Amino acid sequence: MRKKLLMVVSLVLVLTMLSACGTGGSQTGEGGNNSGTYTLKIGMVVTEQDPMYLGAMEFKKNVEERTEGRLEVEVYPSSQLGDTKDIMEQAKVGANVAAISDAALMSEIVPEIGVLAAPYVVDNYEEAEILVTSDLFKGWYENVSTSGYRVLSFNWYQGARHFMTNKLVEKPEDLRGLRVRTPGSPIFIDSINAMGANATSLAWGEVYPGLQQKVIDGFEAQYPAIIGARLYEASKYIAKTGHFQLMSPLVVGNAFFESLPEDIQEILLEEAEKAGKYASEQTLSGLVQNEEEMKSQGVRITEVDITPFKEASKSVYEKNNLVEAKAQVDALLGK
């Protein structure tokens, strides 16, 4: 019943936004009007304090300046446009929206992209940046256009994801029996299950009440998102597993992108790359402060030996047909 209700709400939102965008045309396109101006709405599940929001606001400023107001950018944090998958569905059918998405969702379109969402494929931001700016990875994500999407850039670093639970976790065995929230994409679910927990799919906005009501025993996420949602109030143990390095794309619908004049298309691509770099720098510069803030709130942060977590999750590559992609990434990174 709940899934059906979410689908109905998403459909209504799409229809409403399409109605607001108009029918398109050579002068206006989706999200345009008869004066030749356009609007792009960027949605994300994180809050206004998150580096992704700061990056989107930097993108807004620079795009509006360079297009001299022909393209207006509106930024909607805290799931105001829906969950990430909701926004992606809106973009696909032509709405003038963009999402800070993730590699796991994109892997449902181009499977090889899923290697970036697999556990321990890269060890840090530097390796993730090398991967997503490589010809290998760009060749993969350029193929999403055949499914109705356009990746503006894939370099928005949100941080390493760790386990935050209601009990101390030091090794995979400690995760047994714990219901751990993760996004609903198969590769995320397979990864969390492989490391010992019971993966539970739940919208990001439902994590806090889920912890309070004991629907879940924990979750896995990056520091800025934990801080923004104040999840340290509902959970007190972090195991620094760093199992995912969350490097994300800014994605729009291909129909909307193609409706724009070529000079605006070029500006979007250039400024998305710059804004992704800016957002990543904000993430990196805030990690120490994030950790200190959570410690001050009584959170116990544990440095763990990640070797057994790596070993436990190796099966994910074979299960998701990513063995060859992993080998290509290893060759690229010299591993």
pLDDT digits (tens, 9 = 90+) for 93-129: 999 999 999 999 999 999 999 999 999 999 999 999 9
Distance CA 201, CA 190 (A): 11
pLDDT at 14 over 50: no
| Cβ-contact 49, 228 below 8 angstroms | yes
Distance CA 210, CA 74 (A): 30
Q: What is the mean pLDDT of residues 282-292?
A: 98
The residues near 183 (Cβ < 8 Å, ≥ 6 apart) are 84, 102, 104, 105, 201, 204
pLDDT at 23 over 50: no
Which of residues 26 and 174 earns the better pLDDT score? 174
pLDDT at 35 over 80: no
Distance CA 94, CA 307 (A): 45
What pLDDT score does 103 carry? 97
Domains and CATH numbers, the chain: 2-333 (3.40.190.170)
Q: Please report which confidence band the pLDDT of residue 33 belongs to, taking 50, 70 and 90 as the band edges.
A: low
What pLDDT score does 36 carry? 82
What pLDDT score does 306 carry? 98
Closest CA to 221 of 283, 308, 311: 283
Distance CA 215, CA 2 (A): 15
Give the β-pairing of 237-253 and 300-303: parallel
Q: Please report which confidence band the pLDDT of residue 286 belongs to, taking 50, 70 and 90 as the band edges.
A: very high
Straight-line distance from the first to the last Cα atom of the chain, in angstroms, rounded to the nearest whole number:
47
Grouping H, G, I as helix, E, B as strand and the rest as coil, residue 111 is: helix
Burial group, residue 5, by CB count within 10 angstroms (0-12, 13-18, 19+): exposed
Distance CA 212, CA 223 (A): 20
CA dihedral (82, 11, 116, 187) in degrees, to 10, reads 100
pLDDT at 301 over 60: yes
Q: Please report which confidence band the pLDDT of residue 30 belongs to, taking 50, 70 and 90 as the band edges.
A: low
| Cβ-contact 317, 251 below 8 angstroms | no
Q: What is the mean pLDDT of residues 189-193?
A: 98
Q: What is the mean pLDDT of residues 132-157?
A: 97
Q: Please report which confidence band the pLDDT of residue 7 belongs to, taking 50, 70 and 90 as the band edges.
A: very low
| Count of beta carbons in the 10 Å neighbourhood of residue 182 | 25
What pLDDT score does 12 carry? 44
| Cβ-contact 246, 159 below 8 angstroms | yes
What pLDDT score does 15 carry? 44
Burial group, residue 39, by CB count within 10 angstroms (0-12, 13-18, 19+): middle
CA torsion sign for 110, 111, 116, 117 is positive
Q: Please report which confidence band the pLDDT of residue 260 belongs to, taking 50, 70 and 90 as the band edges.
A: very high
Render pLDDT for 192-217 as a digit per residue (tens, 0 to 9): 999 999 999 999 999 999 999 999 99
pLDDT at 13 over 80: no
Closest CA to 168 of 255, 235, 89, 79: 235
Q: What is the mean pLDDT of residues 304-328?
A: 98
